[in-house]
Amino acid sequence: MTPVQRPPAPPANLAPFRAKCNGCAAPILWAVTPEGEDVPVNPGTSHTGNVLLAVQNGELVAGVLNRGQASGARNAGHHLHRLHDVDCPRANGARTRH
Ligand SMILES: [Zn+2]
């Protein structure tokens, strides 16, 4: 009998962090930056992403990388995400200052 090959590392369970964008209703993940700021992140990974997600102590932590760090992380095999604000068609409207 051939043993069943299991995937090397099961992805972290992101279900508790799933939500919908208040602006455009797209599916998002709520993450928190190391500075403690809540940020919406696109659930899918992107080759232009610069956000490294990690579940730490029950929180989804978003490390926002600069260009060099993002390129290094990609080379190390990490899958990066994009901040939803970058893509959200309603982000500007929602953040308009009066
Ligand atoms: Zn949105």
* Residue 7 located in a structural domain: no
Query: Domain tally for the chain?
Result: 1
Q: Is residue 9 part of a domain?
A: no
CA of 86 to the centre of ligand 1 (A): 9
Residue 41 lies in a domain: yes
- The boundaries of the domain holding residue 27 are 17-87
**CA 88 – ligand 1 centroid, Å:** 4
Phi, then psi, of 79 in degrees rounded to 5:
-105, 125
Q: Is the pLDDT of residue 94 over 50?
A: no
Mean pLDDT, the chain, integer? 87
Is 12 part of any domain? Answer: no
> 3-state SS string over 17-67?
HEEECCCCCCEEEEEECCCCCEEEEEEEECCCCCEEEEEECCEEEEEECCH
Question: Is the pLDDT reported for residue 11 higher than 70?
Answer: no
Q: Which one-letter DSSP state was computed for residue 3?
A: P
User: Does 2 or 61 have the greater pLDDT score?
Assistant: 61
37: closest CA among 85, 96, 89, 78? 85
Residue at 68 is within a domain: yes
In a domain, 29, yes or no: yes
Residue 68 neighbours by CB under 8 Å, 6+ apart: none
> Distance from the CA of 96 to the center of ligand 1, in angstroms?
14
